[in-house]
Structure 1
Amino acid sequence: MLEFAGFLPILLVIGMAAVQLGLIGYGVNQAGTAARAAARVASQDGHGPAAGTAAGRAAVSAWLAPQVSADMGPDTTTATVTVHVPAVIPLFGGWDVSRHATMPTDH
């Protein structure tokens, strides 16, 4: 019983770290998907950066607080999405994860 009580805090920290890594992976996946969606919509003829930003926000879970920017150039459109992954372990403040995607601009 004493051995279990001694290892319980270590097991809890390992479990919380595993959950945290899963959340970070989920945030990376969501940011990448949103960046591709934002770049794809923004690059289409007649849509522009505002539509791309809206598409990027719609592609992410709202609790990740996405920040989306789409920059349309003459040949390519690049979208950047940054999400905030909250911390499961109380000593940390969370992490910001960014992903970029570039698509050819339709003319």
Structure 2
Amino acid sequence: MPYDGKPRDRGQVALEYLGFIPVLVLVALAGVQLGLIAYAAQQAGTAARAGARAASLDLSAQDGCAQAVSGWLADGTACGEARGADEVTVTATVEIPSVVFGWDFDPARKSATMPLDSTTDED
């Protein structure tokens, strides 16, 4: 093609795209992280209900919590139990995994209360 005196823009779009890739990666990682936060919060609620149900039946609240959580979150799950006169409250704490080193979050905490099982043996 003969030279017509106009500057060439060849390759400009590729360079603009390369400059925008870090922004796209950051937005994608933030989206994945938000999903992990929501999932951990949902798992904490499930663990709290399962732990409260187990504790209301005089079983281990920690075992009930750990069995209700996904396997890859179970190691970072802890349950605390508080008993009242006729009810038990369990608070589950689930560590939120991070997709980027340095993005640390407080753990997800959820509580659930169940009435104590008051079955009596009557003849």
RMSD after superposition: 1.3
Aligned to 2:83: 72
Q: Which runs of 5+ in 2 are unaligned?
A: 1-13, 119-123
Please identify the structure whose Cα radius of gyration is greater: 2
Of 45, 61, 69, which aligns to 1:52? 61
Partner in structure 1 of residue 72 of structure 2: 63
Identity %: 43
What is the alpha-carbon distance in structure 1 between the residues aligned to residue 22 and residue 107 of structure 2? 27
| Structure 1 gap ranges (5+) | none
Q: When you count helix as a share of all residues, which structure comes out higher?
A: 1
Higher relative contact order (CA 8 A, sep 6+): 1
Q: TM-score, normalised by structure 1?
A: 0.88
Moved over 4 A (4+): none
- Which residue of 74, 82, 107 corresponds with 1:96? 107
Cα deviation digits, residues 43-98 of structure 1 (max 9, x gap)? 12xx24xx222111111124321011222221211001101112112231243110
Aligned residue pairs: how many? Answer: 103
